[in-house]
Amino acid sequence: ASPIKVAKDQFFREGVETAIATTAACIQAANSVLVVGGGPVGIEVAAEIAVKHPSKHVTILDANKELVANARVSDAFRTQVTDKLTALGVNLVLGERLPQRLTSHGLTKTTLETDKGTQIESDVQLVCAGMTPNVDLVRDLDASLVTDRGIRVTPGCQLADSRFEHVFVIGDASDHPTPKRYKAGLLQAMHVAKQLVAQVANGGDATLEVVPFDAGSLEGMLLPLGPRQGVGQLGDGGIVGDDVMAQIKGGDYFAKGFQAIWCAHASGTDNEPATKEKTP
């Protein structure tokens, strides 16, 4: 559900940067923006635009009758998110869908009509609902291992085929019932890492029983609504508000943390950052 759509043949640095710059420029020039999708991405995008450009008319359209409908969050969480979006001036059109699903952003003025007859005029249309995972690697291996919901896996995230018990799939690409969220993917990765360690310790035996992954009954979720507002639900169901959200995620959406992970180098390698002091 990324707010920036990049064609498969443009997934390199320049292509992504161009897509970001083009979309941002169109939003900047627009008087009205339609965000299709009332999940976490759609909500965050709509709120950021509303806070940065309070004079713009921002609308969220979602086929479900409530926001973040597919997430394991409490009613109290949803109520706070809805109330804060409304206070920001974001128009919510819920329980309605477009007759034809949009597959890419629209960057020109248009009027769309929902299945209930509601007409929505906007200068920019941002598709922040649904996603298409890249499953080509497994599809080439065996097309029967791929469904409309993703790559078929066991409860323990193993490829659901006895021929490939040594292959694991985590995150959005799999059909595991875990919510498709960053945090869930991270927890899956940690779980799978432990299972791999156990297999290695057992002499590389891929038939060793793998423990099923369970994300729990409630899902932790952090939803910034601009840099200084937001609503968060902790793993135990507790709700946190603006001050905590601004400190945890609202400032940079974990950008610094991701940069530290993606730009990390193995200690002692030639690619280790020159600015890092080495232990004598």
Q: Which residue has the tokens 């509601």?
A: 118
What is the model's pLDDT at position 26?
Answer: 94
The answer to whether residues 231 and 81 touch, using CB atoms and an 8 Å cutoff, is yes
What is the model's pLDDT at position 206?
Answer: 64
As a whole number of angstroms, the distance between CA 83 and CA 67 comes to 11
Q: Which residue has the tokens 């897509």?
A: 19
What is the model's pLDDT at position 209?
Answer: 82
| Dihedral over alpha carbons 41, 42, 47, 53 (to 10 degrees) | 120
The SS3 assignment for 14 reads helix
Q: Where are the domains of the chain?
A: 8-131, 136-179+182-201
The answer to whether residues 222 and 232 touch, using CB atoms and an 8 Å cutoff, is yes
What is the model's pLDDT at position 77?
Answer: 94
DSSP secondary structure letter of residue 21? H
Pairing of strands 119-122, 110-113: antiparallel
Instruction: List per-residue pLDDT tens for the chain, 280 residues long.
Output: 566 777 777 778 898 899 889 999 999 999 999 999 999 999 999 999 999 999 999 999 999 999 999 888 899 999 999 999 999 999 999 999 999 888 888 999 999 999 999 999 999 999 998 777 889 899 999 999 999 889 999 999 999 998 998 899 999 899 998 878 777 888 899 999 998 898 888 887 766 788 999 876 657 789 999 999 999 998 778 999 899 998 888 788 888 877 887 776 655 554 444 444 434 3
Q: Which residue has the tokens 């078929």?
A: 152
In this structure, how many other beta carbons lie within 10 angstroms of the beta carbon of residue 78?
17
What is the model's pLDDT at position 67?
Answer: 96
What is the model's pLDDT at position 70?
Answer: 82
What is the model's pLDDT at position 160?
Answer: 93
As a whole number of angstroms, the distance between CA 46 and CA 126 comes to 9
Q: How big, in percent rounded to 5, are the helix, strand and coil portions of the chain?
A: 35, 15, 50
What is the model's pLDDT at position 2?
Answer: 65
222 backbone dihedrals φ, ψ, rounded to 5°: -120, 115
Per CATH, the number for 8-131 is 3.50.50.60
What is the model's pLDDT at position 277?
Answer: 42
